[in-house]
Amino acid sequence: MENLQVGQTERQSPHSPHVAVTQSASIPSVGGWHLVELASRSELADLYRARPAHASPDRLPSYALKVLRPQWETDPRVREMFRRELHLGRVIRNPHLVAVLGGQVRQPPIYLITPWLEGKTLAQCLAQGWRPDAPTALWIARQTAEALDALHQAGWMHGDIKPENIHLGPGGHVTLLDLGFARRTKDAGTWLDRCVVGSWAYLAPEWASSVYRPDIRSDLYSLGVVLFQMLCGRLPFEADNPSEMTAMHRQERAPDVRRLAPETPRSVAQLVQRLLAKEPLRRPQTPEELIDQFVRLEIATFAHRRWTVDPPVGSRSTGCLLETAPRSEYAAKELAAKVGGQK
């Protein structure tokens, strides 16, 4: 890995929106995989576009390799995160949950293999000024909840729901990323058990409390923060440091969505308030319950859909227009059939 050269070509990866990335002819191979392009870097890992080493050089690099950076290879907590992500990504299968195809976690180099996802993260879209209408925001949140339901059914929670971990494909398909912070619900502890950077704005109050243990309802709270952000264009709570942010999540009532985004249907705003309830018992209790509410609201608010998305000032397009009108009409019919089947 010491041959990696940085600084030739900057790109942005759908997996990690805020990092300068590079391309270099000297990028090495790892574990039978040819690393075609360095797509993004984080503090813990480098993300590459890759193809099998035996494949033709003309073959499209359709895989992603997340390679643990050498300085973390002896850290047992970080290695456990990779081991956990490998296990869950292989045994829990859902169209909206990232699939881990393989990897190496017992000895260096430590890496994970996933399909390469075209598109952008929700964080990238929001940073470009994109504001989805209520039906589209519900659609994104519902697909995320379906991934959470798959984890919940297997006895796990995600533990790090935020826009950076919600990937939007070109047609609007949502994939929930990064299972490294996932944990069995019965084993979930407090924030003292975690080392989280950049997620404080989305953590449920019980992560910093001894009254309630975090569980799947904590993920639903975080999803409520994401939904609030999509609808309002800002977070419900804004602070200068994690301690202040945590206190706001524990003590302050979130602003009314309709005060910040008056066009939001009242029923949608009410659901957001339920998701952001301080006490877990006042929230939807399972992803399945929440999915049912999302489905009904998607249909009820279909008339609020905008058929075009205005790009931010100074930009031609965000690239985040998720659907065409015919696809949306098909989706509405599909949702109507689902609701009919639930009656």
* Chunked mean pLDDT (size 10), the chain, 343 residues: 28 41 57 91 93 90 95 94 95 96 94 95 94 95 98 95 95 94 73 52 81 88 97 89 75 89 96 94 96 95 67 49 44 57 55
CA angle at 169 for the pair 166 and 170, rounded to the nearest 5°: 145
- Asked if 100 and 89 touch (Cβ cutoff 8 Å), the reply is yes
Q: What's the pTM? A: 0.83
- Asked if 205 and 249 touch (Cβ cutoff 8 Å), the reply is yes
The active-site residue out of 160, 193, 256, 292 is 160
CA distance 135 to 302: 6
Catalytic residue check, 256: no
Looking at domain 29-115, its CATH class is alpha beta
Domain-by-domain residue ranges, the chain?
29-115, 120-342
- Show contacts of 185-188: CB within 8 Å, 24+ apart: 185/152, 185/155, 185/156, 185/157, 185/215, 185/216, 186/155, 188/157, 188/159, 188/213, 188/214, 188/215, 188/218
Helix (H) or strand (E) holding 244: helix 242-251
Strands 33-41 and 45-52: antiparallel
- Residue-level pLDDT at 10: 32
Question: Which residues neighbour 98 within 8 Å (Cβ) at sequence distance 6 or greater?
Answer: 89, 114, 167, 175, 176, 177, 178, 179
Is CATH 1.10.510.10 the classification given to domain 120-342?
yes
